[in-house]
Structure 1
Amino acid sequence: MSSMIVFDVDSEVEKIENLYEDIKQGEKGAWLSIIAYICLSALKLTIGYITNSEALSADGLNNATDIIASIAVLVGLKISRKPPDKDHRYGHYRAETVAALIASFIMFAVGIQVLFQAFIKFRSPSIESPDMVAAWTAVFCAIVMYVVYVYNVRLARKINSNAMMAAAQDNRSDAFVSIGAFIGIVGSQFGLPWLDTLTALLVGVIICKTAWDIFRDSTHALTDGFDDAELQTIKQTIRDVPGVEKVIDIKARIHGNNKLVDVTIGVDHELNVSESHDITEHIENRIHELHNISYVHIHIEPIEVSSSQEK
């Protein structure tokens, strides 16, 4: 039996050029997040210190870690745009994932520090209610971060970037954290001064939880993990393509912002090369249309076809 691998050079070059352009677009969202986080973290830390608000200060430290995470995403995006070389035949797309992994370690460290400081403050008998200026600062920052979230989530959907979508979700969680800080500060004005410190503890937990989620997703991608339910859905899409007699094997992995699919299919052994090539093009188009995946490597095996042949 013979086999062949279908590869369209012009199509691959076009995909790479489009991907690089999408990554460049994603850098705009990363820059917006960095600028917003720098301004808001400076504002929160300053007002938090002046008004003696643990919740607002913790929120400011949270945004400080987000600066690092956003820079990591930006650096990863820039490295990802480097073309393949002799040492990186598949390109540099995973640089973004590695950067996110490093950022998760930094976020863990800051989250633990916030928890420690809030715990010490919580045990202190001299807890004072912060000024309401801190509350209005938290509301203002929440509005700004939600606007950044709306921009980034639209950009992520436009360029189909998982990294930017994750950054957008982080922007939204930061808006919620600021709202939580506002609630804690206001509550402290009604005879519950410990509520501000309790909110700081919750912010520390959120920082650690976000760090864990980034760590989990990054390590899953770096070890070639892939959601089995999604893989089975892709497999069914291939099965439904006319001319595919059997899906012999299928694998998928995450490579930066890309999903790579490797599949071996069985086709009627009487088909010629051109007819088999048409089937692979149909598969590529269907997977791109239904799953927005552009990288599909297809290996063909000629098989005997019978009336009872199951896919």
Structure 2
Amino acid sequence: MIFTTLDLAKRTQVSQKVTLVGAVVDFLLAVFKIIAGFIGNSGALIADGIHSFSDLLSDGLVLYATKHSALDADEEHPYGHKRFETVATLGLAVILTIVGLGVIFDAMTNLANPVSLSHSALLLSITTLSIFSKETLYWYTLKVANAYKSDLLKANAWHHRSDALSSIVVLIGIFGSLNGYLYLDNIATIVVGLMVIYIAWKLGLDATKELVDTSIDAQQVAQLKHALGQISAVNNVHSLRTRKIGHTISCDVHVQVDPFLSVSEGHIISVSVERVAKKCLKDLGDVTIHIDVENDEINTPYEALPERAQALGILNKALFNNECDSEISRIQLHYLEGRIHVDFYLPLKCLQPDNSADKILEKLQETVNELKSFGKTKVYFSQD
């Protein structure tokens, strides 16, 4: 899916809406949990309330990233701001890791100091409310994340899920305390902490891969290369590179075509390549196409060869010295096989009984053969 400007605006609006809803719920839950935890003497519920406050930090991070990632490209960011989401996702993974480690540390500390609870009905009600609301936020946020290809929102959805899981731990701990098994709260908390760290590791790994320009799935690359190779005017596809930028894919590719095509036809082929590439990969955004006349992974046709202005200077001097430049109307150069091949265009009027096409070609070829770096010669005749 390639997002238009209107789509990006809607994406930003929806992302901010779901995040604001989550922020309001996180704030209310944090306040309720901490108050109930103090009233009911539940350290687990107080820790869960602090966990909910950490969600507010992640919500603020998401709001900042979604706002800035939708900005248009500018001089400082010519490729756009999509990686703001990626950086924020990595930051969110760090936050989740810290939360997970904190949960585990608290649980291990509390194993040696179990406490009895009071006001169990209040504790159970607040914990159940937390589980229900955070799980609802998880599915709501995940739905938006999948619809708009946002890894950042997906990360925030899992943050909601981690809070729901920690609330389940609190619920188990409360039931355990009421039935005399005070250690159950802490054991379950350690398990949930490990789950949170695993989620953070997965999200952080994906974000890091994107930041270091890791290629997309190898199967997708193979499919793209095959699709481009099926274009009739494309002789070879090589140097195909891909990377993710936010919710989109970027790629650059070299395609080899007939070396004697016109520039305009080469351009049309590049347009076809871009169209086929975007059809093959639905999330493909930027496509950079390099038209090759040879496989430049193997050959280096321009190495040590004079460029056009210098080559024409050398060639025109040799033609003048051999007195065979007066009738030439145009010269076309072809950089192939490590040499410069030359096409001469002459008017038909230069053909005379004593100056045949073969004789003209022979004289021009002799002139070119004397020049270093030059190769084959062709002569074309046309009306004035």
TM-score by length of 1: 0.78
Please state how far the C-alpha of 1:300 moved relative to its aligned partner. 2.8
Equivalence for 2:21: 32
Please state how far the C-alpha of 1:241 moved relative to its aligned partner. 4.4
Equivalence for 2:116: 128
Please state how far the C-alpha of 1:192 moved relative to its aligned partner. 0.7
Q: Secondary structure at the match of 1:29?
A: helix
CA distance in 2, matches of 1:19, 1:286: 20
Please state how far the C-alpha of 1:240 moved relative to its aligned partner. 6.3
Deviates more, 1:251-260 or 1:52-61: 52-61
Deviates more, 1:200-209 or 1:246-255: 200-209
Using a 3 Å threshold, how does the CA distance of structure 1 residues 279 and 57 change in structure 2: closer, same or farther?
same
Q: Secondary structure at the match of 1:294?
A: strand
Q: Confirm whether residue 76 of structure 1 aligns to residue 65 of structure 2.
A: yes
CA distance in 2, matches of 1:156, 1:88: 24
Please state how far the C-alpha of 1:76 moved relative to its aligned partner. 1.0
Paired residues for 1:209-228 under 5 Å? 209-228=198-217
CA distance in 1, matches of 2:9, 2:293: 36
Please state how far the C-alpha of 1:128 moved relative to its aligned partner. 1.7
Q: Confirm whether residue 255 of structure 1 aligns to residue 245 of structure 2.
A: yes
Equivalence for 1:179: 168
2:32 to 43, 46, 49: 43
Please state how far the C-alpha of 1:197 moved relative to its aligned partner. 2.4
Please state how far the C-alpha of 1:32 moved relative to its aligned partner. 2.0
Report the AA paired with residue 249 of structure 2: K
Q: Is the 8 A contact 1:134 1:185 kept in 2?
A: yes
Equivalence for 2:148: 159
Q: Secondary structure at the match of 1:144?
A: helix
Paired residues for 1:1-311 under 5 Å? 15-16=4-5, 18-124=7-113, 126-129=114-117, 131-229=120-218, 231-236=220-225, 238-239=227-228, 241-243=230-232, 244-269=234-259, 272-273=265-266, 275-288=268-281, 291-302=282-293
Please state how far the C-alpha of 1:226 moved relative to its aligned partner. 3.4
Q: Secondary structure at the match of 2:80?
A: coil
Please state how far the C-alpha of 1:37 moved relative to its aligned partner. 1.6
CA distance in 2, matches of 1:67, 1:129: 28
Report the AA paired with residue 280 of structure 1: V
Q: Is the 8 A contact 2:238 2:254 kept in 1?
A: yes
Higher relative contact order (CA 8 A, sep 6+): 1
Q: Which runs of 5+ in 1 are unaligned?
A: 1-11, 305-311
Using a 3 Å threshold, how does the CA distance of structure 1 residues 110 and 176 change in structure 2: closer, same or farther?
closer
Please state how far the C-alpha of 1:303 moved relative to its aligned partner. 5.4
CA distance in 1, matches of 2:43, 2:213: 41
Please state how far the C-alpha of 1:224 moved relative to its aligned partner. 1.6
CA distance in 2, matches of 1:29, 1:221: 25
Q: Is the 8 A contact 1:149 1:171 kept in 2?
A: yes
Report the AA paired with residue 251 of structure 1: R
Using a 3 Å threshold, how does the CA distance of structure 1 residues 112 and 155 change in structure 2: closer, same or farther?
closer
Q: Which runs of 5+ in 2 are unaligned?
A: 296-384
Report the AA paired with residue 64 of structure 2: V
Please state how far the C-alpha of 1:269 moved relative to its aligned partner. 4.7
Deviates more, 1:65-74 or 1:165-174: 165-174
Using a 3 Å threshold, how does the CA distance of structure 1 residues 246 and 199 change in structure 2: closer, same or farther?
same
Please state how far the C-alpha of 1:230 moved relative to its aligned partner. 5.1
CA distance in 2, matches of 1:284, 1:128: 64
Report the AA paired with residue 108 of structure 2: F
Using a 3 Å threshold, how does the CA distance of structure 1 residues 218 and 282 change in structure 2: closer, same or farther?
closer
Please state how far the C-alpha of 1:247 moved relative to its aligned partner. 2.5
Encode CA deviations 1:159-201: one digit per residue, 9 max, x unaligned: 2222223322333343333233323322332221111222333
TM-score by length of 2: 0.65
Report the AA paired with residue 127 of structure 1: V
Identical residues among aligned pairs (%): 27
CA distance in 2, matches of 1:218, 1:40: 29
Q: Secondary structure at the match of 1:254?
A: strand
Using a 3 Å threshold, how does the CA distance of structure 1 residues 203 and 73 change in structure 2: closer, same or farther?
same
> Whose helix fraction is larger, Structure 1's or Structure 2's?
1
Report the AA paired with residue 250 of structure 1: L
Please state how far the C-alpha of 1:253 moved relative to its aligned partner. 1.9
Number of matched residues? 289
Using a 3 Å threshold, how does the CA distance of structure 1 residues 248 and 115 change in structure 2: closer, same or farther?
same
CA distance in 1, matches of 2:235, 2:6: 33
Please state how far the C-alpha of 1:39 moved relative to its aligned partner. 1.7
Aligned CA RMSD, in angstroms, stands at: 3.0
Encode CA deviations 1:259-299: one digit per residue, 9 max, x unaligned: 222222334556623641452243244134xx333333333
Q: Is the 8 A contact 1:72 1:96 kept in 2?
A: no
